[in-house]
Amino acid sequence: MSKKPKGQSMWGGRFSDKPSDIMQAINVSIGFDSRFAAQDIRGSQVHANMLAAQKIITKKDNASIQKGLKQIASEIEAGTFPFRDEYEDIHLNIEARLKEIIGDASGRLHTARSRNDQVATDFRLWVRDALDGFDAQFVKLQKVLLKQAEQNSDTLMPGFTHLQSAQPVTFGHHMLAYLEMFARDRARFADCRKRLNECPLGAAALAGTPYPIDRKATASGLGFERPLANSLDAVSARDFALEALSAASICATHLSRLAEEIVIWTSAQFNFVSLSDKFTTGSSIMPQKRNPDAAELVRAKVGRIVGASNALTIVMKGLPLAYSKDMQEDKEPVFDAFDALDLALAAMTGMIADLKPNKKVLAAAAGAAFSTATDLADWLVRELGMPFRDAHHVTGAIVAIAEKHGKALHELDLNDMKNIDKRITDGVYSVLSPKASVASRRSYGGTAPVNVRKQIRRWKSRLK
């Protein structure tokens, strides 16, 4: 039996010397791709079973391989597995350890596959597992948003455009807006999962294999919908990771927007909501401070996640088919981005559950800055038959009077409004309060409490 030269790697048959220290440093990936261990073992177990079923390896060798892989999985779980840089990556580390456990039968495991299709399979399995985990996190976040909406279906607050008070809305309506955003994020992740759910295993290095393998069996055994149809595409495609990072970037943007609102709302100037000690920190010099650090850190995570998406895009943009070593740089951006998103989702779920709206402050702010001016214009259109542009002008003049007297619109004397248009009656007061304004917004998707409660019932049913 031939032996590899001392100091050589498992692929070193034609090499007479070992790699330089610098080559070793740039080439080794075990420091990060050890995260694929569980996926790599699953892939190997299914591959070996298929080889035995196709009579490419013996049942005896397969039994040894399965026993050895099971022991390796136990060692990894127990933290006793000897990860070694000399074997470069997780695939060769597991194969080397398998040989130590079962001997020469281990060498038959790599029949009819390459590290190219092996890593592509592991990566897809890992991303798929991560997407499944995110789906569960989305449900948790949606449920706490739904609970806040239910508890505040008629809690008044100002709605903003340009961060200026615009029209009154309800706090429940505001929470449901984010619930809808995260529902789309969840759908994007599910769509991404569906598209990535094809199996590269069996594509080998790039051209397929002469062995009579059963790719449908390995795909099915790993829970994939089908094998990838083109061997070149199978080993070189990383668009599934790019798509996952794109969906993660959009989700992180939504998380960042909500985090920004929490930062604003918890400030002394707004005082719309409060967070407990669980999600705030103090200052090393200012004892009165309560800083919304969790929200600020969630807001910052979008930089890491979008950066990861850009990084992988740039890695892939100029690669010819099929595999290039550049693709070793595909994993760390995904790991980093998904770690960041995982933590951000958990932190946001905790904060929303912890959030306490200051209802009195919110209600007062809901009526500030003449927020019911549009309701006045709409009343002029409905009751007086006035063209909206004329109503807009009349309302602006009335707002100017209210501003001059330092009064809210519903506090103005009727005669002040009649001085602008004598047809105005006291019926106008029915729309000038924030509560009346909100109650009137009953069009589909509007902020009226009756609408909010209807949407809450719909989401309760969907999230069961």
- Return the pLDDT at 23: 65
Q: Could you read off the pLDDT of 258-301 as tens digits, one per residue?
A: 999 999 999 999 999 999 989 887 767 776 778 889 999 999 99
H/E stretch holding 166 reads: strand 164-170
Which runs of consecutive H residues, i.e. helices, occur in 54-114? 59-78, 90-102
- Return the pLDDT at 286: 74
Contact 119, 329 (CB under 8 A): no
Q: Which two tokens stand for residue 313?
A: 């895009």
Residues of the chain with pLDDT under 70: 1-20, 23-25, 27, 283, 287
Q: Catalytic amino acids?
A: 162, 283
288 to 147, 281, 282: CA distances (angstroms): 31, 11, 8
- Return the pLDDT at 313: 96
d(CA 115, CA 98): 16
Contact 273, 295 (CB under 8 A): no
- Return the pLDDT at 1: 42
Contact 380, 396 (CB under 8 A): no
DSSP sequence for 190-217: HHHHHHH-EE-TT-TTTT--SS---HHH
- Return the pLDDT at 16: 55
Q: Which two tokens stand for residue 402?
A: 């209210």
- Return the pLDDT at 7: 44
Q: Which residue has the tokens 């420091």?
A: 31
Contact 126, 174 (CB under 8 A): no
- 259 contact partners, CB below 8 Å, separation of at least 6: 295, 296, 298, 299, 348
Bond prior to 204 in cis (omega within 30° of 0): no
- Return the pLDDT at 290: 81
Q: Dump strand ranges (E) for 224-365.
A: 226-227, 273-274, 356-357
- Return the pLDDT at 109: 96
β-strands 156-161, 164-170 pairing: antiparallel
- 410 contact partners, CB below 8 Å, separation of at least 6: 367, 372, 429, 432, 433
d(CA 181, CA 126): 25
Contact 140, 182 (CB under 8 A): no
